[in-house]
């Protein structure tokens, strides 16, 4: 027998799925990407490096994505760019506008998050993701995907924040700014989604050289080393 709670959840999911015309394609993309095994790829393979800007720090307290940016990185070179602002359907605090440069007026005519996520997943294709402090960005993305598609992304993601802890275990700072300074990466368009994605991509390209010097040449070797150092769960 189906419980009332289970039935309510199913009806809520169906209602969400019918709310946006962009969802059929988005749902198919998320289904195709879910539960991907961790690949064994050379560290100079093609990856998608991404970042988000948000109205605040807590997706669970109602903060929303206002910008999503990404680049494709292959053999240490950036080959393609992706960037969209998002209508968060809520007020953007003045302090966030000061940091990101995105105002309520700028976001008002932008697509909603579902449409932007659909475009982002099209841009990503089947390539593994890279981000700095990836759990933050994926938290916002997966909250929306669970809400509207009923499932979340569960795909390989390399986190430069965790890689920094691996490569510089005694360092006091693992922020994007500190890493950019350590690797002599120019800081331009900071606190914009595309700008931070570009900075992260350039940092990762430098990290690959350090990892290769330690004998780590594939994504699978890297994931196992991170697990060995207790920085990520087992595969």
Catalytic residues: 191
Rounded to whole angstroms, how far apart are CA atoms 57 and 66? 12
Beta strand 46-54 with 65-74 is: antiparallel
Alpha-helical regions (H) of the chain: 4-17, 23-33, 94-100, 104-108, 113-124, 134-149, 160-167, 176-182, 193-213, 219-228
- Which residues, at least 6 apart from 55, have a Cβ–Cβ distance to it below 8 Å? 63, 64, 66, 88, 90, 91, 92, 93, 96
- For the chain, the 3-state helix, strand and coil shares in percent, each to the nearest 5, are 50, 15, 35
The answer to whether 60 touches 144, Cβ cutoff 8 Å, is no
């Amino acid at each position: 027998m189906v419980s009332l709670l289970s039935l309510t959840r199913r009806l809520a999911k169906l209602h969400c799925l019918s709310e946006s015309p962009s969802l059929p394609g988005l749902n198919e993309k998320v289904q195709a990407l879910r539960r991907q095994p961790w690949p064994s790829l050379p560290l100079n393979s093609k990856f998608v490096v991404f970042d988000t800007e948000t109205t605040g720090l807590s997706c669970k307290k109602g903060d929303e994505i206002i910008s999503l940016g990404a680049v494709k990185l292959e053999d240490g070179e950036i080959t393609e760019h992706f960037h969209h602002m998002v209508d968060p359907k809520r007020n953007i605090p003045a302090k966030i506008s000061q940091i990101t440069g995105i105002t309520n007026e700028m976001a008002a005519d932008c697509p909603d998050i579902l449409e932007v996520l659909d475009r982002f997943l099209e841009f990503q294709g089947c390539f593994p993701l890279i981000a700095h402090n990836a759990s933050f960005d994926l938290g916002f993305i997966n909250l929306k995907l669970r809400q509207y598609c009923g499932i979340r992304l569960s795909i390989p993601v390399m986190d430069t924040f965790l890689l920094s802890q691996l490569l510089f275990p005694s360092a006091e700072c693992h922020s994007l700014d500190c890493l950019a300074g350590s690797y002599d990466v120019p800081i331009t368009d900071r606190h914009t989604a595309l700008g931070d994605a570009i900075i992260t991509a350039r940092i990762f390209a430098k990290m690959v050289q350090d990892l290769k010097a330690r004998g780590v040449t594939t994504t699978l070797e890297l994931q196992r080393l991170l697990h060995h150092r207790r920085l990520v769960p087992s595969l």
